[in-house]
Amino acid sequence: MAVSNHGSAGNLPSDWSGQPADARPLAIEARGLVKSFDGTRAVDGVDISVPEGAIYGILGPNGAGKTTTLRMLLGIIDPDEGVRRVFGHDRPHDIGRLIGYLPEERGLYPSMKCIEAIAFMGALRGLPLKEGRERAVELLERHGLGHAATRQIRQLSKGMAQTVQLLGTLVHRPRLVVLDEPFSGLDAINQGKLEVMIRALAEDGVTVIFSTHVIHHAERLCEGVAIIAGGKVPYAGSVEAARDRIPAQVRLETRAREGAWLSALPPEARRNGDFFQFPLPESGIEPLLKRLIEGEAGILSLSIERAGLHDAFVAIAGEAAARQLEADAQGARA
């Protein structure tokens, strides 16, 4: 997967594994996507390449352009500029049977029974109703909702209703699943269940792309992420590479408080209570350890802490976008 703000459909960049983009077939490819509403650019020149079988996150605050990007990729709306391909097709609607889509705006007919709701959603993707009902029973049983199969949607809890809608998104067995803010409104237990479902889909070779404003979901689930802010993508790549943009931090505690060994510490070292903290030297930790031991610093503890995706987001998208992201996450929890 690779994303930049200036791409070329004929010259694919490397994906987030560092291999050529053609090392795996692409589920999604987009170049130069632009979309404006009322004269304001909601998406401004986004390029995306997502290999098949990936779990891929679009991470950004509300209003950043996540939903607009997903809708263009799916063909729900057309870009003003740029091209997109899904499994090599320029018209995603022509291969709708291969795609499952859970929109941010949830909606099921309240009077429908669970089985019928799932079968109906499958029918919209070309699955015969009879087969849809059979698969609905199987899915509900598998996900612990067999007891609710004949209940009306209005009789379900919010979490159960959202699970039913998700199962309706999967009933026709798509190769690509697109989820817009799927964790929104779910309690911690149901969020955990959804994470398990997403991992299981990827294990079966299904490509999953989801948008979120909650960093820890992207960090736990995704191999690749695109960070989007203000309709632009300042970074796309692996979660690991994003974290590696910030040097790992060394946390050192010593028995000695003073001594010649202090000169071994890099200039950026700062004392924080009983500890020193500083970026991991480019030469690695071994030369530093040698000098500390020779200087009789008396090492009590030493740890190397990698930056989290939150720190990477701050460095890449800026403090303002990070504050908005946190405010969105807090609002969702309230």
Note down pLDDT in tens along the chain; length 334 residues: 333 333 333 333 344 433 344 478 899 998 899 999 998 999 998 888 899 999 999 999 888 899 999 999 999 999 999 999 999 999 998 999 999 999 988 778 999 999 999 999 999 999 999 999 999 999 999 999 999 999 999 999 888 998 999 999 999 999 999 999 999 888 888 899 999 999 999 999 999 999 998 898 999 999 999 999 888 888 888 888 888 888 888 999 999 989 989 999 999 999 988 899 998 888 889 999 999 999 999 999 999 988 888 888 888 888 888 888 878 777 666 5
Angle, to 10 degrees, between the axis of helix 114-123 and the axis of helix 158-170? Answer: 30
What top-level class would CATH report for the domain 21-243? alpha beta
CB-based contact 125:169 (threshold 8 Å): no
Domain residue spans of the chain? 21-243, 247-305
* Cα–Cα distance, 115 to 177 (Å, whole number): 20
What is the helix (H) or strand (E) element at residue 327, kind and residue range?
helix 319-333
CA distances from 315 to 251, 253, 309 (A): 21, 27, 10
* Residue 51, beta-bridge partner list: 26
* Residue 271, beta-bridge partner list: 276
